[in-house]
Structure 1
Amino acid sequence: MKYAALTGISPSVIAELKSGKARTLELSSAHNIITLTEATPGECLFLTSVNEEDLSPGDPGIMVDLLALNISMKRIELTGPTYFEERERMSARIKVQFRGTTIARDVEGRKWGDPTKVEIIRSACYRAG
């Protein structure tokens, strides 16, 4: 089974998620937001600190349960004495909870605009929670 993969996640965030508490993350990387457009709450996600372009079979990561997902656009207005500038920033807020550690077996979605998905090696040991 293929799982959506979020890449480039800070090792400290992954370590905190391993404590077992549900956490909310805000992601602004375009490739992660594209991947999340096909995810729905209740699914499992693969999170890794490896960058998207470097992700390959054998890379470690964690599996998390996606509890909540919100993708939104924020408007930022900057004004100065001679200009008015408007910017937009898309971000995704997700609430996730640790399920277990795993390793990527196969990676797909290398083309720009495609969601990143991985097949994982199932763990023989599970965390009770």
Structure 2
Amino acid sequence: MAGTHDGENPFDVLKNIEFSEQDLKESEIQNQKPEVEELDLSFRKNAKLRVWLEKKKRKGKPVSVISGFDPEYEDLKELAKMLKIKLGVGGSASEDTIMIQGQSRDKIIEILLSLGYKDVKKAGG
């Protein structure tokens, strides 16, 4: 039979290995995703954010665009990073806009509201 040696199961060696609870806890700690740094969300009270879908100049692929951030907001890239991690997609941040790949408007609005942004609305239909 292909893949076996002398009729032995190659996984038989693993039967004798024992793992302690400490080994399992250390493994869990190593596999956790790193926490996103604490964001400066002081600009969120006055922000009037709009989230819309855009397909122009992207070969028909949708991008969720979030605009209305204060241009002086220094943590815009960190906020974009947090959104990308939570949504499991790519994206970018520039000036007062965040672009997130895909049709994630509803989920983006939900996340921004949970962060304390008050005026977050879907735009463009």
Whether TM exceeds 0.5 here: the answer is no
> Which structure features the higher share of helix residues?
2
> Which structure features the higher share of strand residues?
1
Whose RCO is larger (CA < 8 A, sep 6+)? 1
Task: Find the structure with the greater CA-based Rg.
Answer: 2
Name the TM-score class by shorter chain.
under 0.3
TM-score by length of 2: 0.28
